[in-house]
């Protein structure tokens, strides 16, 4: 009966007749929203100004650009040594923002977890980090650039700010998944709050903390690529901006794209191998 009530609802009319409709209010609102987006998209394509657009030539030029970019990659304005240095610089920005962000977020997450802190402190921390997460990373970087100036310092501070807010939510939710029986048992034996955290909460959730930290590291690497151009932080992102917007060197753009892709794949492999070595039991589940 409960399952049926989730997909249908009953409405009794004034004359006593019962009207049954499938779906609930939330589903109908979602369907209406999707339909509205489809209609608005179709209208936008209809009223779009297509004057001056030659579709066939545009497609041909796009295909040629993609061919040069991805099938003929190469370096024109800097060498292999400079490329490795710029990639390592971007990785350095990601490492700094992730490591410091994870340490700060760990302590804030303990205050944000409902099973480890009081309600007032939990709500305060969650509201603050929710506000920080709502603002894009690039805006935080530009805000810090006002004080620190455009460069790697503003990029690290902005990425750090957003990383802390992101990891606080992830870490606190992991802490809340700890078996409450374990916490109650330790409290019954007279264990202090810090003893419960260090001997029950963190050991039980360390796999999740490591996974979330590596995920944020991968995100920060991609963000650092964008910040290289937007905030003048340097690195491979700045070279990508120069190759695409200043030199218009498609071969160099293709090479940098492949370099970023290779680093992202290596980061995923390293995180998986590290998790398998540290937690072989969790990896086999």
pLDDT digits over 37-88, tens only?
A: 999 999 988 888 777 777 788 888 999 999 998 898 888 887 888 888 988 9
DSSP for the chain, please give it: -HHHHHHEEEEE-TTS-EEEEES-HHHHHHHHHHHHHHHHHHHHHHHS--TT--HHHHHHHHHHHHHHHHHS---SSS-HHHHHHHHHHHHHHHHHHHHHHHHHHHHHHHHH-TTTS-HHHHHHHHHHHHHHHHS-HHHHHHHHHHHH-TTHHHHHHHHHHHHHHHHHHHHHHHHHTS-HHHHHHHHHTT--HHHHIIIIIHHHHHHHHHHHHHHHHHHHHHHHHHHHHHS---SHHHHHHIIIIIS--HHHHHHHHHHHHHHHHHHHHHHHHHHHHH-HHHHH-
CATH class, range 81-284? mainly alpha
Predicted local confidence at residue 22, as pLDDT: 56
Residues of the chain with pLDDT under 50: 1-7, 282-285
Query: What is the per-residue pLDDT for 280?
Result: 61
What pLDDT score does 3 carry?
A: 45
Predicted confidence at residue 1, as pLDDT, reads 43
This prediction has a pTM of: 0.75
Domain spans of the chain?
2-47, 81-284
What pLDDT score does 244 carry? 84
């Amino acid at each position: 009966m409960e399952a049926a009530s989730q997909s249908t609802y009953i409405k009794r009319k004034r004359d006593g007749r019962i009207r049954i409709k499938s779906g609930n209010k939330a589903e109908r609102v979602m369907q209406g929203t999707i339909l509205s987006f489809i209609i608005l998209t179709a209208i936008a394509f209809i009223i779009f100004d297509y004057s001056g657009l030659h579709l066939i030539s545009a497609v041909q030029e796009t295909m040629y650009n993609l061919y040069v970019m991805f099938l003929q990659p190469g370096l024109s304005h800097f060498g292999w040594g400079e490329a490795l240095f710029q990639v390592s610089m971007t990785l350095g920005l990601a490492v700094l923002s992730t490591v410091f962000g994870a340490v700060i977020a760990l302590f804030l997450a303990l205050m944000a977890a409902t099973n480890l802190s009081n309600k007032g402190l939990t709500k305060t921390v969650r509201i603050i980090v929710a506000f920080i997460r709502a603002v894009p990373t690039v805006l935080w970087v530009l805000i810090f650039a006002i004080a620190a100036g455009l460069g790697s310092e503003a990029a690290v501070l902005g990425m750090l700010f957003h990383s802390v807010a992101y990891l606080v939510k992830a870490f606190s939710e992991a802490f809340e998944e700890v078996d409450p029986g374990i916490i109650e048992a330790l409290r019954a034996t007279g264990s202090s709050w810090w003893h419960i955290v260090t001997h029950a909460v963190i050991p039980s959730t360390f796999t999740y903390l490591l996974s979330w930290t590596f995920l944020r590291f991968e995100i920060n690497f991609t963000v650092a690529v964008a910040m290289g151009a937007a905030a003048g932080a340097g690195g491979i992102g700045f070279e990508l901006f120069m190759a695409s917007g200043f030199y218009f060197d498609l071969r160099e753009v293709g090479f940098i794209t492949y370099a970023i892709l290779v680093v992202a794949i290596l980061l995923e492999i390293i995180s998986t191998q590290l998790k398998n070595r540290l937690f072989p039991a969790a990896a086999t589940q």
